[in-house]
């Protein structure tokens, strides 16, 4: 697992935090579509490398993906399986789930807006911090706790790993930002 703080400049974090609050959501988001266990708000921002028509002009998804493809991910296909906007309110705890049963996918959670609602990945608890990126294998069980107040908005992205050993892979560029490996 890798945690990146301050990957994006603070001004960009603040712009995105305001813009995600304007993206329409529906009360139909639940891991495995099990509404009896957990239900909260969401919107699919990208599916199989395509954005929905109503979000074609939202610049951040394209920028985010280019940063992930060219800087953060070590092995990639320049392909995004999905990016889901999750919005939770107090008392809307998530349930433990995986984003893939296949070890060849990476999940990146971008904590876009809010000030609480920890992320639990395996046995690790990661404090919610606006602007934080958390990267882990998609087959690791994880869940999100509800915020104490207000809202918690995250973008959950899933990328296939390039497991072709004959290709060279990029390492993330060294940055003077806070990086924590767990």
Length of the chain: 182
Confidence class of residue 40 from pLDDT cuts 50, 70 and 90? confident
Q: Strand runs (DSSP E) across 78-151, as ranges?
A: 82-88, 105-114, 119-121, 124-126, 133-137, 142-144
Q: Which CATH number fits domain 2-181: 3.30.70.580, 1.25.40.20, 3.30.230.10, 2.60.120.330?
A: 2.60.120.330
Contact between residue 161 and residue 106 where contact means Cβ atoms under 8 Å apart:
yes
Domain ranges of the chain: 2-181
Tens digit of pLDDT for each residue in 78-100? 899 999 999 999 999 988 999 99
Among the ranges given (38-42, 59-63, 110-114), the one the predictor scored with the smallest mean pLDDT: 38-42
Tens digit of pLDDT for each residue in 130-170? 999 999 999 999 999 999 999 999 999 999 987 543 333 33
Q: For the chain, where are the alpha helices, taking DSSP H only?
A: 10-20, 59-67
Mean predicted lDDT score pLDDT of the chain? 86
CA distance 80 to 48: 6
Contact between residue 41 and residue 25 where contact means Cβ atoms under 8 Å apart:
yes
Tens digit of pLDDT for each residue in 108-134? 999 999 999 999 999 999 999 999 999
pLDDT of residue 19: 97
């Amino acid at each position: 697992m890798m945690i990146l703080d301050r990957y994006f400049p603070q001004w960009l974090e603040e712009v995105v935090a305001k813009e995600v609050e304007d993206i329409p959501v529906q009360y139909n988001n639940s891991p495995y579509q099990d509404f009896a266990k957990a239900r909260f708000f969401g919107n699919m921002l990208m599916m199989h490398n395509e954005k929905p028509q109503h979000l074609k002009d939202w610049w951040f998804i394209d920028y985010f993906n280019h940063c992930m493809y060219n800087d953060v991910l070590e092995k990639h296909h320049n392909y995004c399986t999905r990016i889901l906007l999750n919005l939770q309110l107090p008392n809307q705890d998530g349930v433990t789930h995986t984003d893939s049963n296949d070890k060849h996918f990476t999940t990146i959670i971008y904590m876009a807006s809010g000030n609480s609602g920890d992320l639990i990945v395996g046995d690790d608890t990661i404090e919610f911090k606006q602007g934080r990126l958390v990267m882990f294998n998609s087959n690791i069980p994880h869940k999100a706790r509800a915020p104490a107040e207000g809202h918690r908005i995250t973008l959950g992205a899933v990328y296939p790993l390039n497991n072709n050993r004959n290709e060279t892979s990029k390492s993330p560029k060294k940055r003077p930002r806070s990086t924590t490996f767990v």
